[in-house]
Structure 1
């Protein structure tokens, strides 16, 4: 049963941002940035050039949006420990991408650095940020994490970034859900909407792992917000997942050989966009 509307209705953020039905958002997984253990001192221009190359491939292939993520900064720091070197490099990378393509961009700053992501978004003109954990709390790889919504929403207001939308995961991947195990997925979706998210994300258990249509439907049953797939989409799954989902973020499958740290593969982008185009046209 659909959640009862308990808040003033919002505009549909997906329609506002992308102006297309069932938008597809491609991921740029940045190479390791300064301060991260895997950064080996390579010139920053090379890191930015790789990001720009991926952005151009995604944009030329018809992807509707691009989200930029410091995905190679493992092991990820807790949100309160994300340093200025990460924010500076992520900002510079986003500016390079913005200068190369017209496709709308968003930001993920891991692990769950929603406040830093909002700062970057304001600086570069990004349209949304992804919060891997928005409400409640769970045990992540980085330890016990609280949802940042109260602080993040006040920070967003303070820096004049209320036009930056919040894409929030529900039933977070890469973590244990023992703390919220007594709360259903629909209840957690309602919590995320109550704490003012704009788009909810149903995701798998790890990067690239499939998201089941049942999980998408469970999230949708607890919210009036758009719900998108956050992991594991490929062309064969488009019909089943897009029967219930309002769009998708896709990263790993679009990379050469399906490996997330490889460059974006233009042939894979073409295959995915073709599958989505057939669905949009009723095929």
Structure 2
């Protein structure tokens, strides 16, 4: 059953970005960037070269899009503490990736750096940003976070980046949901649509943890926006999840030994895309 309309229908962002059904977006987890506690002073060109190699393996295996994130900058900074050194290095990495592959790219500036991600996306010509907590408030690993949608949408307008889409998590992983515990997942999906997200993301509880079909269905009950799986997709889960989801973002499973900090494994990319191809042609 379609969700109740809260706003006029908007164009389907997934269809606009990708010429295929059920698009797959692979994740590049960058090595630590300057300013992060785990950055050891290595030549940043090595960081960018590793990202480019991952991008080529993903695109070469048929992945439809790529999202670049500063996943190794642990512990993650709160949004207001994300510094210019992070924005500069993430921008440079994205430019290297864009020059190496032709697939659309997006940005995640963790944790919840919506405004820095929009700035980077505008600078490099990326097509979307992912924001883990778009609306309401949340107790994350970094502490209490407010949804940045009001400020971020005004910033997007101010820099002329209306063509950069918002991919927003619903019932976000990593943290406690006590503040929104009185609101169903469907209601939280409606909130994200009301605050002008373009694509919603249903996830598991941690990086690599499976997303349950029921989670996708609960998000679907509150929105008319496209929904992608944002965590834990493996080939054997594709048939069930793609009955309810419109696409997927996948990172950890595509890496060597299934560890997110390892390089992309071309054999795993091939295995996943074979499973996706069967669903697309069914």
Q: Does 1:13 align with 2:13?
A: yes
Runs of 4+ with >3 A deviation: none
Aligned to 1:259: 259
The alpha-carbon deviation at position 19 of structure 1 amounts to 1.6
Aligned to 1:98: 98
Q: 2 CA distance for matches of 1:8 and 1:180?
A: 26
Count of equivalent residues = 282
Aligned to 2:229: 229
The alpha-carbon deviation at position 161 of structure 1 amounts to 0.2
Which sections of structure 2, spanning at least 5 residues, go unmatched?
none
> What secondary structure is seen at the aligned counterpart in 1 of 2:166?
strand
> What secondary structure is seen at the aligned counterpart in 2 of 1:67?
strand
TM-score, L = length of structure 1:
0.99
Which sections of structure 1, spanning at least 5 residues, go unmatched?
none
Q: 1 CA distance for matches of 2:249 and 2:7?
A: 26
The alpha-carbon deviation at position 6 of structure 1 amounts to 2.2
CA contact (8 A) 2:6 2:190 kept: no
> What secondary structure is seen at the aligned counterpart in 1 of 2:58?
helix
Q: Does 1:78 align with 2:78?
A: yes
Aligned to 2:37: 37
> What secondary structure is seen at the aligned counterpart in 2 of 1:216?
helix
The alpha-carbon deviation at position 4 of structure 1 amounts to 1.3
Q: 2 CA distance for matches of 1:189 and 1:7?
A: 13
Aligned to 1:121: 121
Q: 2 CA distance for matches of 1:260 and 1:47?
A: 15
Aligned to 1:215: 215
CA RMSD, 1 decimal: 0.5
Aligned to 1:136: 136
Q: 2 CA distance for matches of 1:192 and 1:83?
A: 27
Aligned to 1:281: 281
The alpha-carbon deviation at position 3 of structure 1 amounts to 2.0
